[in-house]
Chains A and B, each alone.
Chain A
Amino acid sequence: MTGVRSRKVARDLRRKWGRTIVVVLAMALAVLAVTAVSTSYFVARSQQLSGYLATDPPSATISVRGLTPAAADQVRTVPGVAAADTSRTLTARIRRPGDPEWQQLRLTVRDSFAANRIARLTPRDGVWPPPDGQIVLEQSGLRLLDDITAGGQVEVELPGLPVRTVRTAGTASDPGLPPSWVEGMVYGYVTPRTVTDLGFTADPGEVRILVDGDRTDAAHIRSVAGAAAQRLTAAGVSVTTVDVPEAGAHPHQEIMNGMLRLELLFGALALLLSVLLIVTVVSGLLAGQVRQIGTMKAVGATWQQIAGGYLAGTALLALAACLIGWPLGRLAGLGFVGFIAEFMNFEVTGESAPWWLTAAQLIAGMAVPLLVAGVLVVRACRVSPVTAMRDHGVAAPRAGGAGRLARGTRLPRLPLLGVRNAVRRRGRLVLATAALSVGGAMFMAAFNVSDGLADTFVEQTIAAEPYDLTVTLDRPYPVGELERVVSAVPGVARAETWTSMPAAFPGGRTGQLSGVPSASPDLRLKLTAGRWLRPGEQRAMVLSADYAEENPGVTVGSTVTTRTGDRETGWTVVGVAVQVGSPSAWVDREALAAASGTAGTADTIRLISESGDPAPVRQDLEKALTGGGMVVAAVRTQDDIRKILVAHQIIFVVFLNLITLISVVVGGLGLATILTVAITERTREIGVLRSLGATDRALRGLILAEAVTIGVVSWLVAAVVLAVPATLAFGAIFGNLLLNTPLAVTVNGAAVAGWLLLVCGICAVAALLPARRAARMTVRQALAYE
């Protein structure tokens, strides 16, 4: 493109600077969406995995009883074992002195903090390793303890022991664990001596091994772990389970992948909206150029020459959009990485992205707007010169509903003319309503899914297990004894005794088996296949949907063999159930106790209080259990569980809020642009109406009617046509990520009404500004408007 045409493009853009800015913003939004999503996707994935793998996570964990130091040393000599350590995990309670609320504490006792060879913790603050008599806290749990710092005192209560005050030595981070604030549990690390001083036995319960050679070779790891287990057995140690996690993957890789998939979905939606916005605003910009295109053709311009000029201008705008959108997108992406890192409990140590990613982002940032605008520009430039010269921004109305409406009613003519104006350029109407309808549908769907999430993820989960209080004991106790203690506590409406234990499932994975009263009137898990347990049914199992998904070959009717302690038990799968944070499977409590050699016992009490307030019951029950010689390991109220569930859904709520925000911005910009174009184009028509005596008020009514018609049409399309499938799609995606089942479909009436109000508000503002300008013109000026 040479001189005059380039000057024309530059001056056209400057002359219509308002629209030019909107075009750049629309393009910048596309760049921002692409850059933010790809940056966070790449950085979060690589940082989580590299951060986790750099800690040398255990290749296998062997649960044992009766481990001796000599046996542990034996494991270290097994061929293929690069390192082995022992640890014990205790469930306790922790709080700051004076705080009435206890927090759950998972206390890890290790014999080799100094070596810190396997699943290395990274010291963050204070002293490392934990000195005897002191505790190191995992950093994500600090907020549950009022942001306690190194040197502060905490109270720790180990099961069955008096409360002891312990000094906090420091903090460390453990990227292999979910964050404390999400799980509602503080993680602490102490030496065996500390636990002994607190009055508890520090006998290690597990041996963690790190294999040498290829640590991603599952067969190799299983082989080495099997040999280590055999060595332990030979040394007289009882091996309960051998857990070989997925090699080379973070324990929460699936959740992470799910979140990143959601992010990709969000990015695609943002890109779709920004493309629609680009289409809308570029069309608006070109609408004012149609006659000039005709003129240029009349003086000898080919469509390629004209298109070349506009595309060069578009490239300049895309470049400006890149300059704005790319840094913002990178910032947004890294901000989101920070959020994911907090949610997934990993530390971001590097934010750099490879050159090819940056290049791809910039190329996409230039290519997407150029492609979208290019199609529109070429279309506009290929119009015949006569058609272009005849363009007045208006077209004859087709025979349609609006025309009939106007003719068949006694409503005031001017507002009806506004309605007809809105529909007489159907292409424009479709364009104007497309971005707004998609934005509206996303807005409504986001609210609907948010409600559905709260309903399905939180309320239905609680409704499925509506127990006010769950008390976990340090070990199984006779059921009769438990029932006797509970029956003496006032305010208990109904109580059940459960038992749970880790079990080795087929494939080398360890899962939790939950023994429940199969005749429970309160336990109402949602089944996705098969049926629930029948009272007293032996050897029947209901699998969790998670387990069923991970093991596609296991269905209703299959037999699953589990190993608890030294015993193997075969179970027939009778159903598949959905539950958040569920165990791997549910079986009849008595059947489980019998299978594990502890018939007639249970280790958990779950109860429903008469008043719905578990606080007094909790105190009395704890006292009664302790008085009966039983040791309480953990207590959780329904409110605690609700908090944990809410914390788990936060990231999804943030996603939905982002979708809502972008819907409003994009929909609003698109509508404002299209209305401004539509009304500016009709300046001459406004001049005609004024010459016929139309007052400012009448003109405002006309323009407002047009604007509101567009708004209402888009709202109707959004609410009636698009919002339902969008809600179902989002609900299915979110639900399957969280629960392996679609979310409950809910309709948020406030969002539906709110979007209508929002759209009408945008319409009023966007329409009245150009209308005011047109109204200020004299009739002569308006009639002569080009």
Chain B
Amino acid sequence: MGNSEETGKPLGGRADVLSGMTTQSTGSGTDVVVDVEKVVKTYRSASTEFRALDGIDLQARRGEFVAVVGRSGSGKSTLMNLIAGLDRPSSGNLRVAGTELDGLTENQLAAWRGRAVGVVFQFFQLLPTLTVAENVVLPMELSRTVAVRQRRDRALDMLDRVGLRAHADKLPATLSGGEQQRAAIARALVNEPPVLVADEPTGNLDTHTGDAVLDLLGEVAAAGTCVLMVTHERDITSWVHRTVTLADGRVAA
């Protein structure tokens, strides 16, 4: 499972707010849904070479809420991008939600992402010309995981669970930062992926709103989803099960 600090929180406690969600089977036969093995990521420019990740090993289980921390440039976001299939490693193996990512084409990665991984960004990245509900419908439409007639209902249900039902038909720009981030989480979870990757989800929020988002992510993990979160927050131990610290592209603790 790599070097990390256990916080002692129990796994898999299903929270009320997300009751009814079921995670997909990884088909691996174990609870490990994220398996990172000796992963290296090197960025090259004309004159320089920068090793962002240097032989990372990391495993995370279903229902586990893992925080990845470290100083700026330590490789946190790079690691999250690799786990979410947004980028490819220079070497090493990644097995996420039961799928070896190495041999997948960009299109196969996209299709896999739609079903297997939810991604939450620091700046929310809601599509500005779609309403909140439409943003949540989009992953279902792309992955065709839900019948057309049921998509809006399911989106509204998901928004209801994150407390945004009343804002469903508003454009993202009319929502506060915290509301936008909750909408982004709803979008990330609507296809019920076994893994949720969140890159600084509270980085653009005030403390109170950030805490609410962390609560929500905790509930997601409690519902059985593996949540991996990059964060700068220092006091997160009450939310996460485990903290992985990166330094200079390696797991420091």
Contacts and interface: CB of A to CB of B under 8 A. Distances in A.
A370 to B, nearest CB: 22
A302 B107 contact: yes
A300 B107 contact: no
B86 A300 contact: no
Interface in A286-343: 291-292, 294-305
A384 B129 contact: no
B207 interface: no
A8 interface: yes
A305 B113 CA distance: 14
A382 interface: yes
B129 A15 contact: yes
A394 interface: no
Given A298-B84, A386-B87, A2 B127 contact: no
Interface string A11-40: 110010000000000000000000000000
Interface stretch (B1-9, B18-26, B135-143, B157-165): B135-143
A11 B110 CA distance: 24
A300 B142 contact: yes
B111 A302 contact: yes
Interface centre among A2, A5, A298 (most CB of B within 10 A): A298
B86 A386 contact: yes
Contact of B148 (A2, A11, A382, A384): A2
Contacts of B115: 300
A301 B130 contact: no
A70 interface: no
B114 interface: yes
Interface in B80-132: 81, 84, 86-87, 106-107, 110-111, 113-115, 118-119, 121, 123, 125-130
Interface in A746-786: 786
Given A15-B129, A385-B86, A297 B110 contact: yes
A298 B125 contact: yes
A786 B127 CA distance: 11
A450 to B, nearest CB: 47
B187 interface: yes
Contacts of A386: 81, 86-87
Given A11-B129, A295-B127, A2 B141 contact: yes
B114 A299 contact: yes
Contact of B86 (A8, A15, A298): A298
A413 interface: no
B191 interface: yes
B107 A389 contact: no
A299 B129 contact: no
B129 A8 contact: yes
Given A2-B148, A4-B137, A389-B86, A304 B130 contact: no
A225 B107 CA distance: 76
A687 to B, nearest CB: 15
B143 A300 contact: yes
B110 A301 contact: yes
Contacts of A389: 86, 121, 125
B130 A299 contact: no
A8 B130 contact: yes
B134 interface: yes
Interface in A338-363: none
Contacts of B191: 300
A3 interface: yes
Contact of B110 (A3, A8, A302): A302
Contacts of B138: 4-5, 296, 299
A7 interface: yes
Q: Interface size class for chain A?
A: 20 to 34
A238 B95 CA distance: 104
A111 to B, nearest CB: 80
Nearest to A786: B128
A296 B106 contact: no
Contacts of A303: 106-107, 110
Contacts of A2: 141, 148
Contacts of B111: 300, 302
Contacts of A301: 110, 114, 142
A301 B144 CA distance: 11
Contacts of B196: none
A302 B118 CA distance: 15
B205 to A, nearest CB: 14
B246 interface: no
B52 to A, nearest CB: 12
A660 B231 CA distance: 59
Nearest to A386: B87
A229 to B, nearest CB: 80
A296 B126 CA distance: 9
B188 interface: yes
A420 to B, nearest CB: 18
Given A298-B113, A300-B111, A384-B87, A305 B130 contact: no
Interface centre among A4, A11, A389 (most CB of B within 10 A): A4
Contacts of A3: 137, 141, 148
Given A4-B141, A291-B125, A386-B87, A300 B114 contact: yes
A300 B87 contact: no
Contacts of B107: 302-304
Nearest to B114: A300
Contacts of B139: 299-300
B188 A299 contact: yes
Nearest to A295: B125
A384 B109 CA distance: 11
A385 B125 CA distance: 13
Most A CB contacts (10 A, CB to CB) among B84, B141, B191 go to B141
B127 A300 contact: no
Nearest to B112: A300
Contact of A384 (B106, B114, B187, B188): B106
Contacts of A302: 106-107, 110-111, 142
B130 A4 contact: yes
Interface string A720-736: 00000000000000000
Contacts of B114: 299-301
A291 B123 CA distance: 11
Contacts of B110: 297, 300-303, 385
A312 to B, nearest CB: 14
Given A3-B141, A4-B134, A299 B187 contact: yes
Contacts of A304: 107
Contacts of A385: 86-87, 110
A295 to B, nearest CB: 4
A305 B142 contact: yes
Nearest to A14: B129
B142 A292 contact: no
Contacts of A786: 123, 128
Contact of A8 (B113, B121, B127, B148): B127
Contacts of B128: 15, 292, 786
A304 B111 CA distance: 11
Nearest to B127: A292
A298 B121 CA distance: 10
A15 B171 CA distance: 13
B135 to A, nearest CB: 8
A403 to B, nearest CB: 14
Contact of B142 (A12, A299, A384): A299
Closest 5 CB pairs of A and B: A300-B114, A11-B129, A386-B87, A295-B125, A385-B86
17 contacts: A2-B148, A3-B141, A4-B138, A8-B134, A297-B110, A299-B119, A300-B114, A300-B142, A300-B143, A300-B191, A302-B107, A303-B106, A384-B86, A385-B87, A385-B110, A386-B81, A786-B128
Interface of A: 2-5, 7-8, 11-12, 15, 291-292, 294-305, 382, 384-386, 389, 786
Given A298-B84, A298-B86, A300-B139, 19 more contacts: A2-B141, A2-B148, A8-B129, A11-B129, A11-B130, A15-B129, A295-B127, A297-B86, A298-B119, A299-B118, A299-B138, A300-B113, A300-B114, A300-B142, A301-B142, A302-B107, A303-B106, A303-B110, A304-B107
